[in-house]
A and B are shown apart, each in its own frame.
Chain A
Amino acid sequence: MAAGFKTAEPLEYHRSFLKENCRPDGRVLSEFRTTTLNIGSISTADGSALVKVGSTTVICGIKAELANPAVETPGKGYIVPNVDLPPLCSSRFRPGPPGEQAQAASQFIADVIESSEVIDTEDLCIERGKLCWVLYCDIICLDYDGNILDACVIALLAALKNTKLPEVTVNTETSTPEVNVEKRSLLHIHKHPVAASFCVFDDSILIVDPTDEEEKLSTAQLTVVTDEEGQLCSVHKPGGTSLSGEKLQECISRATARQREIQKLIDKVIKSIKTAK
């Protein structure tokens, strides 16, 4: 009976739950799904992390390459993020060139990196105007169940914290770079941006961490990115129904709380890796 109701009237089905201040998966409105984190899951990458938010699974691998810095920014390296939503993760995505959602997500991640200054790109410079690091951050979704942006930001942050770059010296005589693979050092992470996503139902009800189904039925989506100092790095709302100031404030305070939770989680996982060694 319930299954039939859900298929025939998905919106009514969700509304009947929201009326009771809960959601079909048993969460209350302002509750995130359980977030699990595995850091350093890909041994061949320079840094990696696997994040699960409920059943949404995202893996991030970071590959560092040596390159010439851009002419206009000789003292800076660069970071190239890419979000891939392969057909594997949901029937919604078709093989072929990346769709709008994947491209918008890539742009969002690039904006977050730039706005939050998670890494100072000057740290990536090895020799001014000659040599710098390029960090290719490939984020691949393995299982799509909504709230992809949150998962991507967590995966990216955890992978960056895990990234170890080898020491590079430039031979002054031959002016060729020499890489010392034995000696690796961690990247310096300046800020810890964490995203929190919200959905607006029926123009008024605000829910946190939406699943795929909730995203489809909602009238608007909102993602707030904050860092540990409570500064906002992004308030991304790509259209949808309007939102009042109070609701926005509510989202921001929930996002700051979420930032603390996630930073704690990342620190805990990193600590556990160290003790395991």
Chain B
Amino acid sequence: MEVCRSSAVSLREFGCEQSLLSRPDGSASFVQGDTSVLAGVYGPAEVKVSKEIYDRATVEVLIQPKVGLPSVRERSQEQCVRETCEASLLLSLHPRSSLTLVLQVLHDDGSLLSCSLNSACMALMDAGLPMSCLFCGVTCAIDYDGKIITDPSAAQEKGSRALMTFAIDSTERRVLMSSTKGSFSVHELQQCIAVSQKASEKIFQFYRDSISRRYSKNL
């Protein structure tokens, strides 16, 4: 388990562990503060005939909440994670196969969607699936004084006026996914995107460090 202490753009302490499950083809758990998500990837595997796509792989994302059954909220998050993964994976290299990504929420203390995105990216990388770029998730909250808080905890989320989650890609630092709550001005949106892009640098550096450490074992 690697841990990164962050200071400048204040992200909570985050950590990640890869290949921790034996059955899935790729797995990772990502921890941001007290929020923690476990991800497992199966694929490329056999696909049901009804879901087969002739020129690319079929991606399925399942989000399991900590308690209870997945609800409408999880469905909409699944859609966000799935389409982000589809954009970064090179799906045409595995036609007529299926990729299943299962995200198990272990604990939710705010910024859940961004933590899910990060664990999904690490798990996809662990599975060795061909990707055109990496992605990471950053959540920003705007409080009632107009201050921007990155990677808010559940309490900070509650006391905020607006909440935005972005997925940023690693090559051009552009916005792959955006999901917002609350109302905000255009200027605030642009500020939040800029802050997220800055924060993404840190997360990508962390990705690189943890992968390097992993490969340093068998050099």
On A, residues with C-beta under 8 Å from B are 100-101, 103-104, 106-108, 110-111, 114-117, 219-220, 222, 227, 230-245, 248-249, 252
What are 14 A-B pairs with beta-carbon distances under 8 A?
A101-B79, A107-B76, A108-B76, A115-B162, A115-B181, A231-B184, A231-B185, A235-B164, A237-B176, A238-B179, A239-B176, A240-B177, A243-B175, A248-B175
Option from B78, B87, B180, B186 in Cβ contact (under 8 Å) with A100: B78
A116 to B161 alpha-carbon distance, docked (Å): 11
Q: How far is the CB of B135 from chain A (nearest CB, A)?
A: 9
Among the 9-residue stretches B2-10, B16-24, B166-174, the one with 4 or more Cβ atoms under 8 Å from chain A is B166-174
Closest residue to A114 on the B side, CB-wise?
Answer: B181
Option from B78, B87, B172, B185 in Cβ contact (under 8 Å) with A240: B87
CB-CB under 8 A from A103, the residues of chain B are 72, 75-76
Q: Are B87 and A238 in contact (CB under 8 A)?
A: no
Option from B76, B78, B85, B186 in Cβ contact (under 8 Å) with A232: B186
CB-CB under 8 A from B175, the residues of chain A are 237, 242-243, 248
Given contacts A233-B183, A235-B189, A239-B87, contact A100 B174 (CB under 8 A): no
Q: Are B184 and A232 in contact (CB under 8 A)?
A: yes
Query: Is B86 among interface residues, defined by CB-CB distance under 8 A?
Result: yes
Q: How far is the CB of A29 from chain B (nearest CB, A)?
A: 21
Given contacts A219-B87, A230-B185, A233-B180, 18 further A-B contacts (CB under 8 A): A103-B76, A111-B181, A115-B162, A115-B182, A115-B183, A231-B184, A236-B179, A236-B180, A237-B177, A237-B179, A238-B177, A239-B84, A239-B86, A239-B87, A239-B177, A240-B176, A245-B193, A252-B186
Given contacts A232-B180, A242-B169, A242-B174, contact A104 B76 (CB under 8 A): yes
Q: Are A231 and B86 in contact (CB under 8 A)?
A: no
Q: Which 3 pairs between the two chains have the least Cβ-Cβ distance?
A: A239-B83, A242-B174, A107-B76
Given contacts A107-B73, A235-B178, A237-B178, contact A117 B183 (CB under 8 A): yes
Q: Are B174 and A227 in contact (CB under 8 A)?
A: no
Q: Are B172 and A242 in contact (CB under 8 A)?
A: yes
On B, residues with C-beta under 8 Å from A are 72-73, 75-76, 78-87, 162, 164, 167, 169, 172, 174-186, 189-190, 193
Option from A111, A227, A240, A244 in Cβ contact (under 8 Å) with B83: A240
Q: How far is the CB of A93 from chain B (nearest CB, A)?
A: 14
A240 to B83 alpha-carbon distance, docked (Å): 5
A245 to B189 alpha-carbon distance, docked (Å): 10
A242 to B86 alpha-carbon distance, docked (Å): 12
Given contacts A103-B76, A107-B73, A244-B174, contact A231 B183 (CB under 8 A): yes
- Which residue of A238, A245, A252 has the most chain B CB atoms within 10 A of its CB atom? A238
Q: Are A238 and B182 in contact (CB under 8 A)?
A: no
Q: Are A234 and B180 in contact (CB under 8 A)?
A: yes
Given contacts A104-B75, A239-B83, A240-B83, contact A116 B183 (CB under 8 A): yes
- Which residue of B164, B182, B184 has the most chain A CB atoms within 10 A of its CB atom? B182
CB-CB under 8 A from B167, the residues of chain A are 239
A171 to B73 alpha-carbon distance, docked (Å): 39
Q: How far is the CB of A222 from chain B (nearest CB, A)?
A: 8
Q: Are B87 and A243 in contact (CB under 8 A)?
A: no
Closest residue to B185 on the A side, CB-wise?
Answer: A231
Q: How far is the CB of B143 from chain A (nearest CB, A)?
A: 16
- Which residue of A115, A230, A239, A244 has the most chain B CB atoms within 10 A of its CB atom? A239
Option from A100, A117, A243 in Cβ contact (under 8 Å) with B79: A100
- Which residue of A116, A230, A248, A249 has the most chain B CB atoms within 10 A of its CB atom? A248
CB-CB under 8 A from B75, the residues of chain A are 100, 103-104, 107
CB-CB under 8 A from A117, the residues of chain B are 183
CB-CB under 8 A from B80, the residues of chain A are 238-239
